[in-house]
Amino acid sequence: MTQNLKHFIEGAHAEASDGARMRLVSPVDEQEYGSAARGTAEDVDRAVAAAHAQLEGGTWSRLHAGQRAQLLLRLADLVERDTALLADMDANAIGRSPMEPRMMDVPNAVANLRAAAGWTQQLEGRTVPTGGYMGTPTLSYTLREPVGVVGAIVPWNSPLMITVWKLAALLAAGCTVVIKPAEETPQSALHLARLAQEAGFPDGVINVVTGFGDVVGRALCEHPLVAKISFTGSPEAGRAIQRIAAPLFKRVTLELGGKSPQIVFDDASFDDALRGCAMGLFVNQGQVCAAGSRILVQRSLAKPFAQALAEAARAVTVGDPRQAGVQMGPVAKKAQFERVNRYIQLGQDEGAVLLAGGVSRPEKGWFVQPTIFAEATNQMTIAREEIFGPVGTVIPFDTEEEAIALANDSSYGLAATVWTTQLARAHRVAARVKAGAVGVNCWSPLDANLPWGGLKTSGIGREGGLPGALAYTEEKVVTVLLPA
Ligand code: NAD
């Protein structure tokens, strides 16, 4: 079915101001299946104006926390009702198996919206003991106020879930938003905005402008009425956003990439570690920011573990993810296909041992075979740069100290996994690994109430939980003079 998508501004669908459109292409057969409005700076301006009006005396600005909570709960129910539809939208757009978003992304989004209903009630101010004012006692308290209009810029890999991470928290805080979905995946954000309207959110609170990053994304970053940019995507785009936002003093949250280590000690449960490492490499074709793509394995285990991982890679059935029995679809876009193959070639050129997969040359569709490299070093490009595809690199280590050093020898610091049955070792390593999140005997656990975000090149700030909602507020101090 041909899709003909438009922006969603102030509760209504709208074409781009100049009528321009962008193509939507299936990664399975490279066929065009529709198009979406190609947004302009003018479209962004209209959407921001609508969002701003809701904050400045609009219906939204007059709702109390309990009413916002009720709307969030209604939206959660509607997203849950449309689980299959939303999962199919995200899956079809990037060639992912629909079972993954059905089981993971959509339930996670629903949980976030429900948790956010609770956060609305917890965004409290404080009373602060002070020394008074020029000899007169005072009462000082703080208020938590919404930061303002947020520009939410989202990538294509888990579009609904990442959009909702931002949306749930900013709505809990009382902000309004203009969402810019990735150019490949505008469907679920647009449906979410329609569901918000059905839930009873006032028009203008949630707006969606589709289009390209260097036009729509850039216009959001430059817009004087946008107070905060919440971005998830590549470090390159994150840098560009920082450069625009810095002189304008905009608040910025950046969720960027990773090169996350999975540390497998020789005391680990072999089978559990194997399953967890395979999952951390192959879910969503490896297009996951927390992908555990650096597999550090204690030397005595390194060879059999790499062989078993290679076997697991070979056992994955790659093809059209809508067909029964297929476990892995194509990567999301042509640029991604070329990028992943470039890294696979580079791994071989640098001397890593290719145990499974390799450079892919399908006749049609952007399919990449799950690929495992062994006997690699942490200095190789495939161990240092984010590939964002189903490619794992096994690197041997000798001691716990060396494992920690290797794990931390990265420009990224998003997530890490420790596989061990020794309790003390688990806590020792978790404490010393430089990452925003560490899983012990479980790869990348996500929960609406857990903060998510990274160190170093992996980004700035956290999403999730109450701290994630607080990040969409400003704390204002009120001081009242109390003369006798
Ligand atoms: P990308 O940075 O090119 O695109 C992400 C979004 O930013 C898109 O909506 C795009 O249109 C927009 N954009 C691009 N350039 C922009 C600019 N100059 N100004 C404003 N907006 C701009 O990322 P990608 O390559 O499409 O996505 C993959 C990357 O995202 C990977 O590096 C991955 O690790 C990262 N990612 C991180 C997380 C996380 O939670 N940390 C989650 C998903 C993806």
Per-position DSSP letters for 362-403, written without gaps between them: -SSS-----EEEES--TTSHHHHS---SSEEEEEEE-SHHHH
pLDDT band at 147 (very low <50, low <70, confident <90, very high): very high
273 lines ligand 1 (CB under 6 A): no
Q: Is the pLDDT of residue 323 over 70?
A: yes
Structure letter (DSSP) for residue 452: B
Q: In 288-325, which positions are buried (b, 16+ CB within 10 angstroms) versus exposed (e)?
A: bbbbbbbbbbbeebbeebbebbbebbeebebbebeeee
108 lines ligand 1 (CB under 6 A): no
Residues 114 and 449 sit within 8 Å (Cβ to Cβ): no
- Mark whether 255 is an active-site residue: yes
Return residue ranges of the chain for CATH 3.40.309.10. 261-447
Helix (H) or strand (E) holding 284: none
242 lines ligand 1 (CB under 6 A): no
Q: Which two tokens stand for residue 79?
A: 């997203």
pLDDT band at 117 (very low <50, low <70, confident <90, very high): very high
- 232 alpha carbon to ligand 1 midpoint, in Å? 5
Per-residue pLDDT reduced to its tens digit, 394-422:
999 999 999 999 999 999 999 999 999 99
Residue type, 170: L
Mean pLDDT, the chain, integer: 97
157 lines ligand 1 (CB under 6 A): yes
Residues 371 and 354 sit within 8 Å (Cβ to Cβ): yes
How many residues are recorded in the chain? Answer: 484
From 235-239, 335-339, 359-363, the region with the lowest mean pLDDT:
359-363
> Which residue is it, tokens 């028009």?
203
- Average pLDDT of span 299-306: 98
Please give the CATH number for the structural domain made up of 261-447: 3.40.309.10
Q: Which two tokens stand for residue 67?
A: 């009413």
Q: Report the nearest atom of ligand 1 relative to the CA of 458.
A: 41
217 lines ligand 1 (CB under 6 A): yes
Per-residue pLDDT reduced to its tens digit, 425-482:
999 999 999 999 999 999 999 999 999 999 999 999 999 999 999 999 999 999 999 9
6 lines ligand 1 (CB under 6 A): no
CATH number belonging to the domain at 3-256+458-478, selected among 3.40.630.10, 3.40.50.10300, 3.40.605.10, 3.40.220.10: 3.40.605.10
End-to-end CA gap in the chain: 75
- 236 alpha carbon to ligand 1 midpoint, in Å? 8
Per-residue pLDDT reduced to its tens digit, 78-96:
999 999 999 999 999 999 9
Structure letter (DSSP) for residue 121: G
Tell me how far apart the alpha carbons of residues 333 and 25 are, in angstroms, rounded to a whole number. Answer: 8
- 481 alpha carbon to ligand 1 midpoint, in Å? 49
Q: Report the nearest atom of ligand 1 relative to the CA of 452.
A: 40
Per-residue pLDDT reduced to its tens digit, 32-52:
999 999 999 999 999 999 999
Helix (H) or strand (E) holding 24: strand 21-25
- 270 alpha carbon to ligand 1 midpoint, in Å? 35
Atom 26 (ligand 1): residue with closest C-alpha?
155
Q: Is the pLDDT of residue 2 over 90?
A: no
Q: Is the pLDDT of residue 1 over 80?
A: no
Return residue ranges of the chain for CATH 3.40.605.10. 3-256+458-478
233 lines ligand 1 (CB under 6 A): yes
Mutational test site, ligand 1, from 105, 153, 190, 460, max ligand atoms within 8 Å of CB: 153
Instruction: Report DSSP letters for 207-227, one per residue.
Output: EE--S-IIIIIHHHHH-TTEE
Q: Which two tokens stand for residue 146?
A: 């919404």
180 lines ligand 1 (CB under 6 A): yes
Per-residue pLDDT reduced to its tens digit, 57-80:
999 999 999 999 999 999 999 999
Residues 207 and 50 sit within 8 Å (Cβ to Cβ): yes
Residues 329 and 90 sit within 8 Å (Cβ to Cβ): no
Mutational test site, ligand 1, from 234, 250, 450, max ligand atoms within 8 Å of CB: 234
**Annotated active-site residue in 255, 375, 463, 474:** 255
378: nearest Cα among 435, 483, 460, 295: 295
- 448 alpha carbon to ligand 1 midpoint, in Å? 22
Q: What are phi and psi of 17, to 5 degrees?
A: -60, -30
